[in-house]
Amino acid sequence: MMSKLISAAAFWLAGAMAVAAQSPLAQIPPGPITVIVPLAPGGPADAIARVLAERLSQDIKRSIVIENRTGAAGNVGAAFVAKSAPDGLTWLFCPDSIVTVNPHVYKSQGFDATRDLVPVAKVGQNLLLLAVNAKTVPAKSFKELVEFGKSHELNFGSAGIGSPGHLALEYLKMVSDLRAVHVPYRGAALALQDLLAGNIQASFITAGVLIPHVNSGALRALAVSANERVRFVPDIPTAEEAGIKGFEARFVNYMFAPGGMKPELRAAFGNAVLEALKNSEVRVRIEQQATDPIGADEAASVDQIARDRQKWGEVIAKAGMKME
């Protein structure tokens, strides 16, 4: 009897191992899996990637490392992944702007954003806050800011040409009577520094970065960059509530695979990412970056990226943005 039980257990274990071996993730060669973040360490995207990688590593039983490859607004790191072998050892985690904005702004990215990278999962959404220096700008609403801009030189800082803050500003100018001059910086940190110092009057910056300064009274937030309130700062009006019609600027993080990867491997890794995103601890840690931990699969991600690429392309063309 005991020998039969042992034989049955061995048979079950062999079957389980065979099923595991058949998983598309088992196709990934030995060695650590690398997730490239094409932005500097310490930012929201980098922090979220590390939280996700930690959980994902536990779930799929593989070592996952985060590598920051910066340059050219994310193009350097994205190009590296686009040209990597599609074997599952190299992935890209980044904001959507690299594939929805940069193709319109840069003469060449070093890869084809519509073909060489495939989004396997959507991982979180960011909204921006329209904020002004509380000492140098008396406006307490968007309507008052428009009036202020008619009689004063109003400078809007951003992290650079084609950055989310720049796009939001140009889009806002198209749908409203706001008059403002764009002042590009080499990164959001420098723009925020000058906004706090009063060297520029306003900016669109990620909600998570601005919240402490809004709470301290140094900055005044006039609107959210979409028609939904940010639960981290529920008292700040939506764009529509602030009187801005037809305006929405939201930005999303995605996990990308190199083009040419087998669909079943993309799907398996994407599903693993979305499962990790369901973990309560992961969600809390992502929310600490003032990012809404929502997810979506490859099909939905491809569709949203296509729509956002067209939308921002129109804004960029009208604004005349261009980088060499």
pLDDT digits (tens, 9 = 90+) for 243-282: 999 899 989 999 999 999 999 999 999 999 999 999 999 9
Q: Look at residue 245 and tell me if it is in a domain.
A: no
pLDDT at res. 8: 45
Q: Are residues 122 and 134 in the same domain?
A: no
DSSP string, 147-169: HHHHHS--EEEESSTTSHHHHHH
* Per-residue pLDDT at 161 exceeds 90: no
Expressed as residue numbers, the domain containing 133 is 127-224
Q: Is 28 helix (H, G, I), strand (E, B) or coil?
A: coil
- pTM to 2 decimal places: 0.83
DSSP string for 38-72:
-S-TTSHHHHHHHHHHHHHHHHHT--EEEEE---G
Which CATH number belongs to the domain containing residue 217 in this structure? 3.40.190.10
Residue 101 and residue 182 in one domain:
no
What's the pLDDT at 268? 97
Q: pLDDT averaged over the chain?
A: 89
Contact between 171 and 247 under an 8 Å Cβ cutoff? The reply is: yes
**In CATH, what number is assigned to the domain containing residue 259?**
3.40.190.150
Q: What is the 3-state secondary structure (H, E, C) of 162-193?
A: CCHHHHHHHHHHHHCCCCCEEEECCCHHHHHH
Same domain, 51 and 71: yes
Q: Are residues 112 and 257 in the same domain?
A: yes
Distance (Å, whole) CA 18 – CA 30: 18
Within a domain: 3 = no
Per-residue pLDDT band for 324 (boundaries 50, 70, 90) equals low
Whether the CB-CB separation of 102 and 313 falls below 8 Å is answered with: no
The rounded distance, in Å, linking the Cα atoms of 163 and 188 is 9
Counting the structural domains of the chain, the total is: 2
pLDDT given at position 216? 94
**Are 71 and 205 found together in one domain?**
no
Q: Is residue 271 domain-shared with residue 312, that is, in the same domain?
A: yes
d(CA 233, CA 228): 11
Identify which of 74, 76, 51 has the alpha carbon closest to the alpha carbon of residue 187.
74
- Let me know how long the chain is: 324
- How many other β-carbons are positioned within 10 Å of the β-carbon of residue 132? 25
pLDDT for the residue numbered 43: 78
| 122 and 135 together in one domain | no
Q: Check residue 13 and give its pLDDT.
A: 46
